Structure 1
């Protein structure tokens, strides 16, 4: 398993009139956490794309347990719990300032050869980083 944590502060522009985070912003929060996970593995997301691999999202699910609010620091825990094949699955838990879990989510992305526009297996350069950082 791979696990990383990323912290971000909720900005006013991301909230609705109740000062709750507007639901559409959670997808962005998860993307930020995913990109930071790759950086933690040793590869910036841009370098994955420069090597000809795109990672489109094919599935997204989310469960809101409590609202995130303006100016809270959120901790986003991101997990890879399965070795990827042609797909890579991420699981997320978001916690508020009080360390209460407020959101659970999952995304599935697939590896796409950007030149051929074909689905491919996880490329070796990325698989090697995943395996190097894998913890039981």
Structure 2
């Protein structure tokens, strides 16, 4: 398993009139978690794309447990719990300032060759980084 933690503060523009985080913004929070996870194991999302690999989302599942509020500091916990094949699965938990879990989610992405537009297995250079960082927390 690989586990990363990234903190952010809820900005006003991410909230609805009740000052709750608008539900659609959680997808962006999870993207931040994925980007930071890749960066922590040694390769930025941008570098993966520059190698000719796209990572489109094919599934997204979320459970809202409690709301997040304007100006609240959140911790996004991002996990890879399975070695990837043609797809890579991420799991997420978001905790508020009181360390209460407010959201649980998962996304599945697949590896797509940008030139051929065909689904491929996880590239060797990325698999190597995942394996080297397995059982680490960042």
Could you state the TM-score of these two structures normalised by the residue count of structure 1?
Answer: 0.99
1:69 aligns with 2:69: yes
Cα distance in 2, alignment partners of residues 133 and 27 from structure 1: 25
In the other structure, the counterpart of 2:102 is: 102
Cα deviation, residue 135, structure 1: 1.2
Cα distance in 2, alignment partners of residues 48 and 127 from structure 1: 12
CA displacement 1:48-93 (0-9 Å, x = unmatched): 0000100000000000000000000100000000000000000000
CA displacement 1:79-135 (0-9 Å, x = unmatched): 000000000000000000000000000000000000000000000010000000001
Q: Which runs of 4+ in 1 moved over 2 A?
A: none
Aligned-pair RMSD on alpha carbons? 0.8
In the other structure, the counterpart of 1:10 is: 10
Cα distance in 1, alignment partners of residues 47 and 116 from structure 2: 18
* Secondary structure class of the residue paired with 1:118: coil
* Secondary structure class of the residue paired with 2:17: coil
For 1:1-136, list aligned pairs within 5 A.
Answer: 1-135=1-135
In structure 1, stretches of 5+ residues that fail to align are none
Could you state the TM-score of these two structures normalised by the residue count of structure 2?
Answer: 0.97
* Secondary structure class of the residue paired with 2:82: coil
* Secondary structure class of the residue paired with 1:119: coil
